[in-house]
Structure 1
């Protein structure tokens, strides 16, 4: 083989290696950019969903405080509808939250506890109706306080998530909630 052919083959091999390296580098860069863009979209969806859920819980908190004040003044506000509307809207917002299974599990527990007394009251009324008895007196003031305590816990939990902090430990009343009411 002559020197010119050897130099030509070496040059061609170098060009092939260079082109392969450039292609590989471009592919790796594109792959990294696509992953970063997907991660940013997930983070943006998480922030948007978390913001919406937080907004609904803050509205619930405000409405419950107004219901509590109205109750003190002698009015009889329909707090059950408020609880259902705002907690349902907050839960719906969290359904769009990608990832964060710990947050979803914790918030699902909080939503359950917000609605717990309403469900128990409705069951007691149904059993009284079936037995032909008068429905027992409501404890609406306690129901409002119950929902307000857990709405505040939800706000704290979602706030920590949105700030990128560790979720707060459940309060004692959250851990023991299945055994009774907050009073």
Structure 2
């Protein structure tokens, strides 16, 4: 069964928000849309998104700052920032906010799809890391060593050159 990724979209431009909503819903993502940062923070607590697509210039906040706040609420969220500004103008803020991808407006849906595929891969890696860190990979069972003197056990465990092995007090030196 395929995992359905949850996307939180924070975009103040209503026509673009509707267009992205239609595209993302048709692509099979579970979606929650917001028009400002305040709505996005409230929605993130209930919706628990895997991916956040956020406009840089929201009416009540900076998108890079919103991403920092969202990362505090949902630690493993993967963020994609969209903006009409060139990346060079906001690169410092983007780098400090742990953004996975950046799209400059206007972008086409193929660019968005490429960034989302990368973000989904990052989410899967995070999910696997959580599983691997919480569940032991393997349980190793070592059978008990046979009893007896070590000199009697030497035939069972081949040693390269027996002339170099000395047995003293049941230890190999």
TM-score by length of 2: 0.27
Greater share of residues in helix: 1
Greater share of residues in strand: 2
TM-score by length of 1: 0.26
- Radius of gyration: which is bigger? 1
Higher relative contact order by CA 8 Å / sep ≥ 6: 1 or 2? 1
